[in-house]
């Protein structure tokens, strides 16, 4: 028997898109190199296309009825389960955030902890948001009038780009409020730091989140975002990462495309890297993708 020993080779991870609860390769069959903050190679990520974005919209639309029809209490349980699973993979995400953001392990771990807490925070709001977004309205006449919030539908999200806290905490901060209120989402992951987003898809797949509720596509934002902005079956658009990805001009073009199809739009910050995702999130994003339904009913009948 030979005494020769060999250095063990690491098993390199093959990252895939997350669409409809499954992990397809990109329709293009192509990948692109993802590097760390120092420019060193980390992995190959799938290069998503407009066709991938359209497929993701189909999956998100198919999931709207079931997810919006789930009780708010059950949606909260599902979001809490995401936090549980993310906690179990804390070390992996801390390593990916550290590489993406160019920060030390302790800071990266703190950002992962904040992302876990953010899931729990939004999980607690699922059965309470109706109390601040709806209510009984005073009217003159023998009838009563009630306003209740309902989800907008399919939300396209341009994720925050790489920067302090953006690659995971910022990502969670835009996905969680949209799905907490019963919407489904298609996310264009940060092109320069997609690995935390693609790994989040693996967490979501094992967290009782129904397939199609969250769909994550990596690749060039300039390829994916215009498809989401102009797609007639996308009801709303969150452009948080648009300026950082492709500049103010591209963000304005996305807004114009969204206006053509009457979408709700959350506009990006003029200085997207000035936003501190560790701050308390408030309720603005919870309310951004809700519609108000008002019901009138005669009294005494």
Question: Residue 3 above 80 pLDDT?
Answer: no
Ranges of each domain in the chain: 31-298
Looking at residue 250, what is its pLDDT? 92
String of DSSP letters for 151-214 = E--EEEEE---SSTTIIIIIHHHHHHHHHHTT-EEEEE--TTS-HHHHHHHHHHHTTTPPTTSE
Q: Which residues pair with 107 in a beta bridge?
A: none
pLDDT in tens, 70-108: 999 999 999 999 999 999 999 999 999 999 888 999 999
Residue given tokens 């797949």 in the structure block? 205
pLDDT in tens, 28-78: 999 999 998 888 999 999 999 999 999 999 999 999 999 999 999 999 999
Percentage of the residues of the chain whose pLDDT score is greater than 70: 97
Looking at residue 136, what is its pLDDT? 81
| Segment among 101-110, 132-141, 202-211 with least mean pLDDT | 132-141
Please compute the mean of the pLDDT values over residues 192-217 and round it to a whole number.
95
Please compute the mean of the pLDDT values over residues 13-26 and round it to a whole number.
95
Architecture, CATH, for domain 31-298: 3-Layer(aba) Sandwich (3.40)
- In the 8-state DSSP scheme, what is residue 238? E
Cα separation, 108 vs 173, whole angstroms: 16
Please compute the mean of the pLDDT values over residues 175-182 and round it to a whole number.
97
Percentage of the residues of the chain whose pLDDT score is greater than 90: 74
Looking at residue 272, what is its pLDDT? 67
**Residue in 132, 107, 150 with CA at minimum distance from that of residue 283:** 132
More confident residue, 116 or 292: 116
What tokens appear for 216 in the block? 């994550």
Looking at residue 1, what is its pLDDT? 52
Looking at residue 11, what is its pLDDT? 82
> What is the pLDDT of the chain when averaged over all its residues?
92
Entry pTM:
0.92
pLDDT in tens, 213-233: 999 999 999 999 999 999 999
The answer to whether the CB of 129 falls within 8 A of the CB of 63 is no
Looking at residue 47, what is its pLDDT? 97
């Amino acid at each position: 028997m030979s005494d020769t020993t060999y250095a063990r080779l690491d098993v390199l991870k093959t990252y895939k898109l997350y669409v409809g609860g499954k992990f397809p390769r990109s329709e293009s069959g192509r990948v692109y190199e993802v590097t760390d903050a120092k420019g060193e190679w980390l992995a190959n990520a799938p290069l998503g296309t407009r066709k991938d974005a359209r497929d993701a919209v189909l999956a998100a639309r198919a999931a709207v009825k079931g997810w919006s029809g789930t009780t708010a209490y059950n949606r909260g349980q599902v979001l809490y389960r995401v936090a549980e699973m993310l906690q179990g993979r804390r070390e992996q995400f801390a390593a990916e955030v550290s590489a993406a953001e160019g920060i030390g392990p302790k800071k990266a771990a703190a950002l992962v902890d904040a992302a876990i807490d953010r899931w729990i925070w939004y999980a607690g709001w699922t059965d309470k948001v109706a109390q601040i977004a709806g209510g009984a309205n005073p009217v003159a006449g023998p009838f009563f009038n009630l306003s209740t919030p309902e989800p907008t539908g399919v939300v396209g999200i341009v994720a925050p780009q790489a920067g302090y806290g953006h690659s995971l905490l910022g990502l969670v901060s835009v996905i969680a409020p949209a799905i907490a209120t019963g919407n489904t989402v298609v996310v264009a992951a940060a092109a320069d730091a997609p690995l935390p987003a693609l790994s989040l898809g693996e967490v979501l797949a094992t967290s009782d989140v129904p397939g199609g509720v969250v769909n994550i596509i990596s690749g060039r934002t300039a390829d994916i975002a215009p498809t989401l902005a102009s797609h007639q079956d996308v009801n709303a658009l969150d452009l948080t990462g648009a300026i950082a990805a492709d500049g103010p001009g591209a963000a304005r073009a996305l807004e114009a495309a969204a206006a053509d199809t009457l979408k709700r739009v959350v506009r990006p910050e003029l200085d997207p890297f000035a936003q501190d995702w560790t701050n308390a999130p408030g309720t603005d994003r919870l309310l951004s993708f809700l519609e108000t339904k008002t019901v009138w009913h005669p009294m005494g009948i």
